Structure 1
Amino acid sequence: MADADGSRTVSHYGIERAAWPRLDALAYGGDYNPEQWPEEVWAEDVALMREAGVNLVSLGIFSWVKLEPEPGRFEFGWLDRIIGLLHEAGIHVDLATPTAAPPAWFRKAHPDIRPVTREGHVLGGGARQTYCPHAPEYRAACRRIAEQLAARYAGHPAVVLWHIHNEYGCHVSECYCPYSVAAFREWLQGKYGSLDALNAAWGTSFWGQTYTAWDEIDAPREAPTGVNPAQRLDFARFSSASILELFKAERDIVKAHNPAIPVTTNFMALLNKSMDLWSWAREVDLVSDDHYTTAGSPVRHIELAMAADLCRSLAGGAPWLLMEHSTSAVNWQERNVAKLPGEMMRNSLAHVARGADGVLFFQWRASRAGSEKYHSAMLPHAGTDSRIWREVVALGRRLEQLREVRGSRVRADTAIVWDWESWWALELDSRPSVDVRFVDAQFAYYEQLWRAHVTADFAHPSAGLSRYRLVVVPQSYILTSRWADNLRRYVEGGGTLVVSFFSGIVDENDAVHLGGYPGALRDLLGVRVDEFLPLAQGQAVALKPVDGGDAAGTGTLWAEPVELRGAESVLAYGDGPAAGHPAVTRHRFGRGHAWYVSTRPDPGTLREILRRAALDAGVEFDTQTPDTLETVRRVGADGAVYPFTLDHAQ
């Protein structure tokens, strides 16, 4: 449903709330850190924000010590003044809880809150996110500062969004201190109920690891050799879930003071391996993301599109917010290449094209000191007489012209299966090849769809897939029987599925599905494999059409001696360890088709495989429009179509 001001309201954990800030245009602005500057600069900042078209700023993200300079003494006068200035200028506030930056006095008083690495190193201060997520003193302090902020500002008309913490899991995603070990044992008891169940799930009979008491279980810290992979997988699940509990505790506090103000926390969809964002997305009122391009990468615009599509999918297709990106160079890559003239505008509009209803930056004014002083900003060190400032003002005007697209959605008929647990498990120790990496596989398939102008969503393997004509499964290493049944029903109902090698291999406990590979998907794909044949570094094998003729391309990383069990061969191995065996297959299953790709094809060959699968699916696969053009459409609730075309050849 829609309120009078146009914001959506939906039901979430028992209350009705606005799912988008009270804004009448696309959000534009960024992180504002007024505490870094004397107060006489603040009025200038607000005036320049108005000139640039800024309507939303994030405040207080790292301001804990400014707000609570000593235990229990809170100072809000400075925050009152800056919020007042912004409100008078018509600029809205995304107010943060500052819990990503515990004060030095807090670390001194509670030294045991410092996180411990897997190798046993205790991490120091002088940075941010120096805390153990399970330390009771830290948890209590987070609740206290959140309560103080919410009590004071939940009714302020300038505050339209709550921003909990900052980039959860970015720097500390796992902790191995005594607090964390105790919390892990408690989590395991809640999950398994008994040691017998845990021992069975973890396969502890291997290497004599059977546990007879809960306090025998440690965190999977560094050991003489590979640690039990099921234990490491559960520790990753536990870490993501327990850090999510930190977010939920603060969220519930601010919600209790004003349920109408939406709550978010900034994800890093492609950069944060450690948090299962499908679980996190269910707990926020609106999804927001931080995205930074890889400087110097020739495909950074495609990586950007992939991150945006993933973020939109986490939002369930609803509008989402780009919480951070950069006007030009970042400060933390090895070579912080500046963006070319016009690139910042194009990047920003690419996010909007793929469903973002707001474009924010880190940060408003470039810092003079600290670790991020060379990170570009909306107002650079050079001031307003600069290329970046002129582009910032131009972007504000362009976003104002695009206000009509607010609330419209991107519609896709193709989906890519993405699962954080597969990412975790796939890249643990003792796998057949270190060259097989989750995001690499995802990007390889995504890139060829992007170049063919196919807009794709991302989906969890348990998600409903019937609305998609084509579903691609790059390296879903973990597939439970239930998830495999979901894919089976999709194809039986008429869908077209493309599955890459090393998918469907293990269950949720990292235990192999027996009977031959690809495990849970053998019958669906109509193939059987009895042995993996990973390729040597740099090795390539020829792929050729089964009806003869010249080689169609090459494969790298992986090969398999595929046996046909109902499928037909499309491409075969021309040489290498699987010479003569099918390499790419197609299987009619129910009313649909299931394709299997048992190697990593070169880009041109992979695009042709996907083109033929798209033909099965009835998905338009455009190989005529130059792949330097990015084309996306947003569609409004009234059927209005908003086409975006971005030229990356310039």
Structure 2
Amino acid sequence: MAFGADYNPEQWPKEVWKHDVELMREAGVNLVSVGIFSWALLEPEEGRYEFGWLDEVMDLLHANGIAVDLANASASPPPWFTVKYPDSAPVDANGVRQTHGSRQAFAACSPDYRRAAAALTTAIAQRYSSHPALAMWHIHNEYGCHNQPDFGPHAERGFREWLEARYGTIDALNDAWGTAFWSQHYYNWAEIMPPRHSGTHVNPTQQLDFARFSSDSLLECFEAEASIIRANSDKPVTTNFMGINMGLARPIDYWRWAPRMDIVSNDHYLMAEDPRNHQDLALVADLTRGWAQSNPWLLMEHSTSAVNWQQRNIAKSPGQMLRNSFQHLARGADGILFFQWRASRAGAEKYHSGMLPHAGRDTKVWREVVELGAALEKASEVAGSRVLADAALVFDTDARWAAELDSHPSVEAQPVRELREWHDALFRAGITTDVRQSTDDLSAYRLVVAPMLYLVTDDGAANLRRYVEGGGTLVLTYFSGIVDQNDRIIMDPIDGGGYPGAFRELLGIEVEEFFPLRAAEAVPLTEGACGRWSELGRTTTAEVLSRYKAGPTAGSPAITRNEVGAGHAYYVGTAPDSEALAGLLSRLLDDAGIESPRHAVEHPDLEVVRRTSDGGSWVFAINHGEDDARLALDGTELLSGSPTAGELTVPAGAVAVVRLS
């Protein structure tokens, strides 16, 4: 079980280093990430490397039994590099070139950046591949967090090459992009530009393809550096993902990236003012487990307490660090790491918490860090086990990006919000949920919910139909199945056919017109109420479960159920309020044969997740509430070492891990 943090010894005098490793041993730290932002010190001028300080750090850590996740330091080129190669810096959509002074001041398609990053990676890999402290490799850091997408001349060239490889001919591109609209027809690849700022809405398929290209261009950077590492070392390679943050504005398709990782790793930070931020954590952990294909993964970064980049950086309450960490552990992580070991004294993140705070050892944070290290050691036997789930949410990157495009029926059609609301409903019902793609094998799940699957490929639509025909229970929500992979409306050019084009037959409905609601407007249903969205339509073969009771769509079906093969396909054509959604979910669970556990009713703030392996099964119980909770379990609680004798009591704010008998 990995436990540790980013370690930045170069920020501190050498006399601090020995003190650091002594405290690391006291806390139980066994893995630290080193060298992530060290390019400027490792290469003070092009081609001249200075590894002396890093040699000392690696040796010191090894001597104290602490393994290293060694970075190749390509995440942030030094100022001399940007000065020497000014066109290597990224350009925004308004044509403004960025400069150094923060981090990630490079354009992904810059040949100078790629050459320099490869040279640095080669030097580091050759020097440290056989070092006994080395446990794994950390390529770059949070790709695309601050320089994505780039609209500069290198991206312009790369985008054209990417498009030509994708479409083959300019005619195929014109057809895919619908360039007959607004006189946008192209006759030559050289006419195509990145979707820079223009007078009004830029071609949506051009925007979508540019997001795909931008993700792929950074993936090329990763693969180039990873291939150098792998040619010199057999240690596992990863880069840290950024959860659900990478939407259309900062496009990274982690579903495409994840198979290139030897270990999937992720960073997660609570939004402090979100009252349900523990559920957001659970969703992101479930999503990370999906990228890892249900294999164990690594939490590369989270915070011991406050961060520095939110409007109000609220410190974590006593016990919250432990609960957060064990949520990740419960949902598949085999390691818990933080940013960072020692809170910085200078720089933009000096108010970001660390394992060792500015106030030192006699602090809440340090005491909780030591407590967490001991707890992880006691729970270490769960490493290698997996999380099993009866339900899954479908979350395709392309569908998210396309739904986030401009000039849509309503700004309220937000795919991440829809995903989170459905996950929260399942979370409240005590149901552990996987997150998958529409093209994945879904046959193991009794219930699959696809919230706002706006864009869907033919393969994805066919796969969902097979799932239902095979006996599955599928839920599709409003604004799903509307466009194909090129963001073109799915319809018959002559007869139309209505929405949702990809799923009309499967759902047994036809929608003729969207009726988005005004801000804060609510519409009563025959079963509950709804907001944000309504539709005018009719059923063809589906059973109506709820209708709109008022407004221009009164009488139209809002929620339907269609029998297809051995399964059922539900359509939720609106955003039910929380009460209506809970009632609908209860019906869905009954239909799918999934029993909501008793604790979901008796102790709604108790999170319960099970991990299983051939060697045993463990139940994690995390109490987010203010009252003690009781759970019927027979086994041994690992943190206390006590048998449960049939019932486990989880005090308010506490965690427990039970090895089942």
Same fold (TM over 0.5): yes
Which of 355, 365, 368 is the aligned partner of 1:391?
368
- Equivalent residues of 2:82, 2:99 under 8 A apart: no
Residues paired across the two proteins, number: 616
Question: Which residue identity is paired with 1:277?
Answer: Y
* Pairwise CA distance, 1:624: 2.3
CA–CA separation in structure 1 for the residues paired with 2:13 and 2:508:
69
**Inter-partner Cα distance in structure 1 for 2:200 and 2:472:** 44
Task: Give the secondary structure class of the aligned counterpart of 2:611.
Answer: strand
- Counterpart in 1 of 2:561? 586
Shift, 1:481, TM fit: 1.7
- Aligned match for 1:261, one of 229, 235, 238: 235
Instruction: Name the structure 1 match of 2:314.
Output: 337
Pick from 229, 254, 275 the counterpart of residue 277 of structure 1. Answer: 254
Alpha-carbon contact 2:396-2:453 (below 8 Å) kept: yes
Once residues 404 and 604 of structure 2 are traced to their aligned partners in structure 1, the CA distance between those partners, rounded to angstroms, is 32
Q: Is 237-246 or 576-585 further displaced after alignment?
A: 576-585
Q: Does the alignment pair 1:378 with 2:363?
A: no
Aligned partner of 1:406 among 383, 394, 400: 383
Contact 1:295 1:337 in 2 (8 A): yes
Aligned twin of 1:547 = none
2:516 is the alignment partner of 1:534: yes
Indicate yes or no: 2:622 matched with 1:646: yes
Post-superposition Cα deviations, 1:488-547, rounded to whole Å, max 9, x if no partner, equal 000000000011100000000000011210110011111110111111111110011xxx
Contact 2:244–2:284 (8 Å) recurs in 1: yes
- Is 571-580 or 523-532 further displaced after alignment? 571-580
Residue 339 of structure 2 corresponds to residue 362 of structure 1: yes
Cα distance in 1, alignment partners of residues 389 and 575 from structure 2: 25
1:17: which partner in 2?
none
Report runs of 4+ in structure 1 exceeding 6 Å deviation: none
Q: CA deviation at 1:94?
A: 0.1
Q: Write the mapping of 1:462-611 to structure 2, written as runs, cut at 5 A.
A: 462-514=439-491, 515-544=497-526, 552-611=527-586
How much has 1:409 moved relative to structure 2?
A: 0.5
**Match of residue 426 from structure 1:** 403
Q: Residues 589-642 of structure 1: CA distance to partner in whole angstroms, max 9, x if unpaired?
A: 10000110011000111111111111111112235242200000000123x110
Q: CA deviation at 1:266?
A: 0.2
Give the percent of matched residue pairs that are identical in Structure 1 and Structure 2.
54
Matched to 2:513, the amino acid is: E
2:42 is the counterpart of 1:71: no
Structure 1 segment 48-447 matched on structure 2, within 5 A: 48-258=23-233, 260-273=234-247, 274-447=251-424
Q: CA deviation at 1:96?
A: 0.4
SS at match of 2:607: strand
1:281-340 superposed Cα distances (whole Å, 9 cap, x missing partner): 011101000000000211000000001000011000000000000000000000000000
In 1, Cα distance between the equivalents of 2:611 and 2:311?
36
In structure 2, runs of 5+ residues without a counterpart are 492-496, 627-661
Q: 2:504 corresponds to which letter in structure 1?
A: R
Amino acid at match of 1:641: S
User: Match of 2:21, as an amino acid?
Assistant: V
Deviation of 1:471 after TM superposition, in Å, equals 0.2
Question: Does 1:33 pair with 2:15?
Answer: no
Describe the SS at the equivalent of 2:68.
strand
> What TM-score, normalized by structure 2, do the two folds share?
0.93
The answer for the alignment partner of 1:620 in structure 2 is 595
Q: Which residue of structure 2 aligns with residue 14 of structure 1?
A: none
Q: Are the counterparts in 2 of residues 584 and 596 from structure 1 also a CA contact under 8 Å?
A: yes
Find the aligned partners of 2:369 and 2:552 in 1 and give their Cα distance. Answer: 55
Structure 1 stretch displaced more, 353-362 or 268-277: 268-277
Match of 2:643 in 1: none
Q: CA deviation at 1:117?
A: 0.5
- SS of equivalent residue, structure 1 residue 624: helix
Letter in 2 for 1:360: L
Q: Which amino acid letter does the alignment assign opposite residue 266 of structure 1?
A: N
Which sections of structure 1, spanning at least 5 residues, go unmatched? Answer: 1-25, 545-551
1:20 is matched with which residue?
A: none
Whether the aligned pair in 2 keeps the contact of 1:454 and 1:621 (CA below 8 Å) is yes
Tell me the SS of whatever aligns to 1:381: coil
Taking the aligned partners of 1:364 and 1:29, their CA distance within structure 2 comes to 7
Q: CA deviation at 1:482?
A: 1.6
- C-alpha deviation, 1:577, in angstroms: 2.1
Letter in 1 for 2:94: E
Deviation per residue, 1:398-429 (Å, 9 max, x gap) = 00001100100000111100011111111111
Deviation, 1:66, is 0.8
Distance apart, 1:98 and its partner CA: 1.0
